[in-house]
Chain A
Amino acid sequence: MNPLHTALWGVLPYVVTTLLVAGTAWRYRYDRFGFTSRSSQLHESTLLRIGSPLFHYGLLFVVAGHLTGLLIPETFTERIHIHEWLYHANALAVGGVAGLVTTAGLAVLIYRRLRVPAVRAASLRTDRVLHPLLVVTLLAGLAATATTTNDHPYDYRQGVSVWFRSLFTFSPDVPVMAHAPLVYQLHALLGMALFALWPFSRLVHAFTAPVGHLFRPYIVYRSRGARGNGVGRVRR
């Protein structure tokens, strides 16, 4: 186990997590006004209406797939009699399609951002890093998914997933990750880069997903006195 692997799979995840949590907390505390999706739909709607739902809905499936693959141990799925080949066929089909849909959506969005002058002008500085990073992360992920069609595929649920879960017990299983195929290592690194960039880019809008909308009354009343946190609501 060389020091590089220890740094990448033993130290970096914690650095990134700290950056993500502290950065988001700092941004929320000092720049709540900056928490927005920075939508450019006002400038261009047609392409956005194709690209954005493709990208976001695809991404929701991708995220759900990652959570299942990383958090649910293989022993659990075996106990409920889901065979390894069935699990992987499902992951390949659903994950592959979701990944392709997300990539297609992102391609439309990037085309739009580069070719529509008003949208291009409205882009943020972080977008120049964020969009390429999203592309390479997605491509690495798709490549990793594609490798599972091999005759002897790498079982990430006994590799990457074990490492991922070991992070939460503060005893990172570095060797497992060090032996993972390069494409998985690359995907994990790019993912960490994405999390590090998260608090400082438009990605923060994902943390403010308006789930509460489903449960609140339609009309919100607030008192002049209650600003910010003290939201006075009257049910009707």
Chain B
Amino acid sequence: MRVMAQIAMVMNLDKCIGCHTCSVTCKQTWTNRSGTEYVWFNNVETRPGQGYPRTYEDQDVWQGGWQRKHGRLVPRSGGRARRLARLFANPRLPTLDAYYQPWTYDYGILTDAPLGDDVPTAPPRSLTDGRPTAVTGGPNWDDDLGGGPEHLAGDPVLKKMSDRVRLEYEQAFMFYLPRICEHCLNPSCVAVCPSGALYKRIEDGIVLVDQDRCRGWRMCVTGCPYKKVYFNHRTGKAEKCTLCYPRLEAGEPTVCSETCVGRLRYLGVVLYDADRVGEAAATPDERDLYEAQLSCFLDPSDPEVARAAEASGIPHDWVTAARNSPTYALISTYRVALPLHPEYRTMPMVWYVPPLSPVVESLTATGHDGEDPAKLFAAIDALRIPQEYLAHLFTAGDTAPVEAALCRLAAMRAHMRRANLGEEQDPAIAASAGMTTASLEAMYRLLAVAKYEERYVIPTSYAVTGPDAADFGCSLEGEGAPGMYDPEGFHAPPAAPPPAEHAGTSLRDRVNLLNWNGRGRPTGLFPRRRGES
């Protein structure tokens, strides 16, 4: 047993109102630089819908994730030699058209136009080449089922279901799916990186891109089945969600969690057995992958696990945090959270509490009491269509775990309504969902009233200390890198074609020999001597 710690996220989809606050605050924090206009580390999709980039879940086309070959796991895009053979042009790279062509508006016309009879307008300009453009797509083009059946038909999850189901489904329900990088236990983006620039951090499991090692081969974009690694077209480097590690290291939640209006995100430590991950990810039947991943997680209250964790170098406060972890509770204890697309075999670590509200609503719409336990259970059973859709999202098509999770949520609603109205308690409600009254109430507390400190249980970082541990600097620094941004340059209409500068021309404290006039020794050509300021 090799214990490793992972900061996992759980999102309660019942609470998501699709306001995109997480996306916007994330973008303001991380991707408001030129070259990352189309990059959304966090996005919110309307389901059913095509997602972002469009139809990213269709792995027959995009070749993300892993597949089993002769009992072994191989990236779906092929083995190592095959990948190197395709280094010169990645055949499965989505172009900007699969995302959207970034644009801005020529706002200057609004203020500079001469007095005239016509009201001046701000025409759209492309942010890639500065030319006039027509806006034909955006990051949430099919938001709230925008585009109608035409767009819906492109949903790869719906395509797995029958036509009959599809038609009925369109009237049944809609929900929002916020997505960030899954920070997988078995990340395929890491596996396919030719340079080895992507890595999983040992301490907290965050998957990061080393900007100095990335050479822009773009294989990670294909390798990630969730299409959550993006290519910065200005710097020529891959960038992805960092799980806001500078904040996590200080014990603070990610920006998307912090600013979530519905307070639907949970962050906490999950301990897992790293030795089991490879075997679990190679489980033959993809419907067993959910259970297989659950079996990798270790119970932090088990003294044996705690001992092994500390033997693996995990500090005591991390084990304590794992015991109080809201994510471990929702994933393993209550089993109401489910992984997104376990069939990709990457062992994702952002899990989702499936939405019960649509079921309640459709029940209410037919004139029934939406929270009557008997009717609600019956409805969950009867509403096969949403269930099947959710199963294709969360459990590789197996409806049993989805049904069980929804039943637990239904039991919680029914029980808590009785409690709130002062009605007689009925232990049978809890029992019918395989729970006890006490655990239902604990789950209710976590899902409904949990305060900031209960939703985000994040121990501060620990580091492998070394002689120069204090002098790390920030690995996100550097011109155009994720830690830097130019507040003036972003979303300003490029009048001329954007200055495609050589990456080496304007680095701070560095010297560009091409601009050197040959006189004297330019400062910064050589490293400073010790003692020199």
Cβ contacts A205-221/B at 8 Å (1 or 0 each): 10010111110101111
Given contacts A212-B196, A213-B194, contact A224 B235 (CB under 8 A): no
Cβ contacts B205-232/A at 8 Å (1 or 0 each): 0000011111111100000000000010
Give the nearest-CB partner of A123 in chain B.
B500
Contact B128 A121 (CB under 8 A): yes
Q: How many residues of A contact B (CB 8 A)?
A: 59
Comparing B83-91, B260-268, B323-331, B439-447, the segment that makes contact with chain A is: B83-91
Contact A45 B95 (CB under 8 A): yes
| B274 on interface, CB distance cutoff 8 Å | yes
**Distance to closest chain B CB from A196 (angstroms):** 12
| B60 on interface, CB distance cutoff 8 Å | no
| B119 on interface, CB distance cutoff 8 Å | no
Report the separation of the CA atoms of residues A117 and B501 in the bound assembly, to the nearest whole angstrom: 17
| A3 on interface, CB distance cutoff 8 Å | no
| A27 on interface, CB distance cutoff 8 Å | yes
Comparing A34-42, A90-98, A170-178, the segment that makes contact with chain B is: A34-42
Among A56, A214, A219, contact of B191 (Cβ-Cβ < 8 Å): A219
Contact A34 B502 (CB under 8 A): yes
B514 contacts which chain A residues (CB < 8 A)? 200
Contact B464 A219 (CB under 8 A): no
B533 contacts which chain A residues (CB < 8 A)? none
Comparing A138-146, A181-189, A225-233, the segment that makes contact with chain B is: A225-233
B251 contacts which chain A residues (CB < 8 A)? none
| B438 on interface, CB distance cutoff 8 Å | no
Contact B88 A210 (CB under 8 A): no
Contact A36 B472 (CB under 8 A): no
Contact B215 A227 (CB under 8 A): no
Contact B195 A228 (CB under 8 A): no
| A168 on interface, CB distance cutoff 8 Å | no
Report the separation of the CA atoms of residues A214 and B196 in the bound assembly, to the nearest whole angstrom: 11
Report the separation of the CA atoms of residues A51 and B468 in the bound assembly, to the nearest whole angstrom: 46
Among B203, B236, B463, B472, contact of A37 (Cβ-Cβ < 8 Å): B236
Contact A42 B203 (CB under 8 A): no
Contact B95 A49 (CB under 8 A): no
Given contacts A33-B211, A33-B503, contact A53 B89 (CB under 8 A): yes
- Give the bracket for the number of chain B residues in contact with chain A: 35 or more
Given contacts A31-B507, A225-B469, contact A210 B475 (CB under 8 A): no
| A71 on interface, CB distance cutoff 8 Å | no
A213 contacts which chain B residues (CB < 8 A)? 80, 83-84, 193-196
Report the separation of the CA atoms of residues A126 and B510 in the bound assembly, to the nearest whole angstrom: 19
Among A26, A32, A224, contact of B203 (Cβ-Cβ < 8 Å): A224
| B287 on interface, CB distance cutoff 8 Å | no
**Distance to closest chain A CB from B436 (angstroms):** 39
**Distance to closest chain B CB from A51 (angstroms):** 8
Give the nearest-CB partner of A48 in chain B.
B89
| B421 on interface, CB distance cutoff 8 Å | no
**Distance to closest chain B CB from A101 (angstroms):** 13
| B366 on interface, CB distance cutoff 8 Å | no
| B497 on interface, CB distance cutoff 8 Å | yes
Cβ contacts B436-466/A at 8 Å (1 or 0 each): 0000000000000000000000000101111
**Distance to closest chain A CB from B254 (angstroms):** 17
| A179 on interface, CB distance cutoff 8 Å | no
Contact A121 B503 (CB under 8 A): no
Contact A210 B215 (CB under 8 A): yes
Report the separation of the CA atoms of residues A189 and B379 in the bound assembly, to the nearest whole angstrom: 80
Contact B479 A53 (CB under 8 A): no
Report the separation of the CA atoms of residues A233 and B480 in the bound assembly, to the nearest whole angstrom: 28
Q: Which of A50-68 contact B (CB under 8 A)?
A: 52-53, 55-57
| A122 on interface, CB distance cutoff 8 Å | yes
Contact B504 A32 (CB under 8 A): no
| A72 on interface, CB distance cutoff 8 Å | no
Given contacts A45-B95, A222-B201, A225-B466, contact A126 B502 (CB under 8 A): yes
Among A35, A43, A234, contact of B215 (Cβ-Cβ < 8 Å): A35
Contact A27 B504 (CB under 8 A): yes
Report the separation of the CA atoms of residues A33 and B237 in the bound assembly, to the nearest whole angstrom: 9
Given contacts A220-B200, A225-B465, contact A210 B217 (CB under 8 A): yes
Contact A41 B466 (CB under 8 A): no
A222 contacts which chain B residues (CB < 8 A)? 199-202, 210
Report the separation of the CA atoms of residues A232 and B202 in the bound assembly, to the nearest whole angstrom: 9
A211 contacts which chain B residues (CB < 8 A)? 84
Give the nearest-CB partner of A220 in chain B.
B199
Give the nearest-CB partner of B514 in chain A.
A200
A117 contacts which chain B residues (CB < 8 A)? 126, 128-129, 131
Given contacts A42-B93, A232-B202, contact A36 B235 (CB under 8 A): yes
Contact A210 B87 (CB under 8 A): yes
Contact B200 A41 (CB under 8 A): no
| B187 on interface, CB distance cutoff 8 Å | yes
Report the separation of the CA atoms of residues A225 and B464 in the bound assembly, to the nearest whole angstrom: 5
| B375 on interface, CB distance cutoff 8 Å | no
Contact B233 A43 (CB under 8 A): yes
| A120 on interface, CB distance cutoff 8 Å | yes
Among B130, B200, B463, B469, contact of A219 (Cβ-Cβ < 8 Å): B200
| A30 on interface, CB distance cutoff 8 Å | yes
Contact B504 A42 (CB under 8 A): no
Contact B195 A224 (CB under 8 A): no
Among A27, A42, A123, A228, contact of B212 (Cβ-Cβ < 8 Å): A228
Contact B88 A57 (CB under 8 A): yes
Given contacts A42-B93, A210-B194, contact A124 B500 (CB under 8 A): yes
Contact B200 A225 (CB under 8 A): no
| B10 on interface, CB distance cutoff 8 Å | no
Report the separation of the CA atoms of residues A23 and B465 in the bound assembly, to the nearest whole angstrom: 34
**Distance to closest chain A CB from B187 (angstroms):** 7
Give the nearest-CB partner of B232 in chain A.
A42
Contact B501 A125 (CB under 8 A): yes
Given contacts A45-B95, A124-B502, contact A224 B88 (CB under 8 A): no
| A15 on interface, CB distance cutoff 8 Å | no
**Distance to closest chain A CB from B136 (angstroms):** 15
Contact A33 B95 (CB under 8 A): no
Report the separation of the CA atoms of residues A117 and B128 in the bound assembly, to the nearest whole angstrom: 8
Report the separation of the CA atoms of residues A36 and B232 in the bound assembly, to the nearest whole angstrom: 12
Among B195, B210, B504, contact of A210 (Cβ-Cβ < 8 Å): B195
**Distance to closest chain B CB from A194 (angstroms):** 16
| B115 on interface, CB distance cutoff 8 Å | no
A selection of 13 A-B contacts at a CB cut-off of 8 Å is A31-B507, A31-B510, A33-B479, A33-B503, A34-B502, A35-B215, A43-B233, A56-B88, A118-B96, A221-B200, A224-B201, A225-B466, A234-B274
Given contacts A42-B218, A220-B190, 4 further A-B contacts (CB under 8 A): A42-B95, A118-B129, A224-B201, A228-B212
Q: Contact residues of A with B, CB < 8 Å? A: 23, 26-27, 30-45, 48-49, 52-53, 55-57, 117-118, 120-126, 200, 205, 208, 210-214, 216, 218-228, 231-232, 234, 236
List 4 A-B pairs, minimum CB-CB distance, nearest first: A34-B503, A225-B464, A210-B194, A218-B191
